[in-house]
């Protein structure tokens, strides 16, 4: 069985690697017979080159198709000179939304609260389509949640910022604010979001959610099936 190599961005914050390894433990629990290897593009070990030693399916643990997905992962795989297939990133997918909403629920947020405004906070990218993917989720939640409003916000590069999104929600009548996380793991940017959120309720990153783990396996299975058909 071809190995699954899951590659995350990486962070100097040890909580980030711990969260990624926790997610991969869930993946292994769902598919015990599969060789699942975790690694990182930068800032912590192991690196992709350390675990990519032969044919494999590389699953980028990235929520959107920004620079790391479009450039860094393919370049790192090409540099390894092994016959690896790179899958699509995890997003967009309804299961990511479900995971983010579960984290909000765990933080005490419920649907239908007309006094509540929700910020959906992501990393931000110079690649506009990656930001728009997050904004689409926010617009869908705004239509379906019964909250006072939902606004996308970004921790870096893109706008609006978290304070700007909060101000928009206040203008829509929100008297309380919650922040949903569009981050896979803790780290510098999620901490920045929390620091800018004031007295808002801040949900945890998606982390070891079982639906995220199932999504990782789905990306793997789709790539394997395509390889089988091609063969």
Domains and CATH numbers, the chain: 4-90+208-230 (3.40.50.1400), 94-202 (3.40.50.1400)
pLDDT(5) > 80: yes
Taking the C-alpha atoms of residue 187 and residue 213, their distance in angstroms, rounded to an integer, is: 20
Taking the C-alpha atoms of residue 228 and residue 152, their distance in angstroms, rounded to an integer, is: 39
At 173, is the pLDDT very low, low, confident or very high (cuts 50, 70, 90)?
A: very high
The mean pLDDT of 22-35, rounded to a whole number, is: 98
Looking at the chain, the whole-number percentage of residues with pLDDT higher than 90 is: 87
Span of 29-33, 126-130, 141-145, 150-154 with lowest mean pLDDT: 126-130
The mean pLDDT of 36-55, rounded to a whole number, is: 93
pLDDT recorded at residue 228: 65
| pTM (two decimals) | 0.94
pLDDT tens profile 63-85? 988 767 788 898 889 888 888 99
Taking the C-alpha atoms of residue 35 and residue 49, their distance in angstroms, rounded to an integer, is: 16
Q: What are the tokens at 94?
A: 């309804």
Taking the C-alpha atoms of residue 109 and residue 134, their distance in angstroms, rounded to an integer, is: 20
**Whether 130 contacts 68, CB under 8 Å:** no
pLDDT tens profile 194-230? 999 999 999 999 999 999 999 999 999 999 998 764 4
**Residue 6 φ/ψ region, left for φ over 0, alpha for ψ in the -120 to 50 degree band, beta for the rest:** beta
pLDDT recorded at residue 36: 98
**Coil, strand or helix at 45:** coil
Per-residue CA distances from 8 to 42, 72, 113, 143, 217 (Å):
9, 11, 35, 32, 15
The mean pLDDT of the chain is 94
Question: What are 47's strand-pairing partners?
Answer: 40
Question: What are 123's strand-pairing partners?
Answer: none
Q: Which of 164, 158, 165, 157 is nearest to 118 (CA)?
A: 165
pLDDT recorded at residue 71: 83
pLDDT(231) > 70: no
């Amino acid at each position: 069985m071809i190995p699954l190599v899951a590659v995350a961005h990486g962070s100097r914050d040890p909580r980030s690697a711990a969260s990624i390894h926790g997610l991969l433990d869930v993946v292994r629990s769902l598919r015990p017979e599969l060789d699942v290897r975790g690694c990182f593009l930068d800032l912590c070990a192991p690196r992709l080159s350390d675990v990519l030693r032969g044919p494999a399916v590389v699953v980028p643990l990235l929520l959107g198709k920004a620079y790391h997905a479009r450039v860094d992962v393919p370049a790192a795989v090409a540099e390894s000179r092994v016959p690896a297939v790179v899958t699509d990133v995890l997003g967009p997918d309804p299961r990511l939304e479900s995971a983010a909403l579960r984290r909000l629920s765990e933080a005490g947020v419920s649907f239908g609260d007309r006094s509540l405004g929700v910020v959906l906070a992501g990393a931000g990218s110079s690649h506009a389509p990656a930001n728009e993917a997050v904004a689409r989720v926010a617009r869908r939640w705004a239509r379906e949640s019964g909250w006072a409003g939902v606004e996308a916000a970004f921790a870096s590069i893109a706008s609006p910022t978290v304070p700007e999104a909060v101000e928009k929600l206040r203008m829509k009548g929100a008297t309380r604010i919650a922040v949903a996380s569009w981050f896979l793991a803790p780290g510098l940017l999620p901490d920045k979001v929390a620091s800018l959120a004031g007295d808002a309720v801040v949900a945890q990153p998606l982390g070891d959610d079982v639906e995220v783990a199932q999504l990782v396996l789905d990306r793997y299975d789709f790539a394997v099936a395509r390889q089988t058909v091609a063969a």
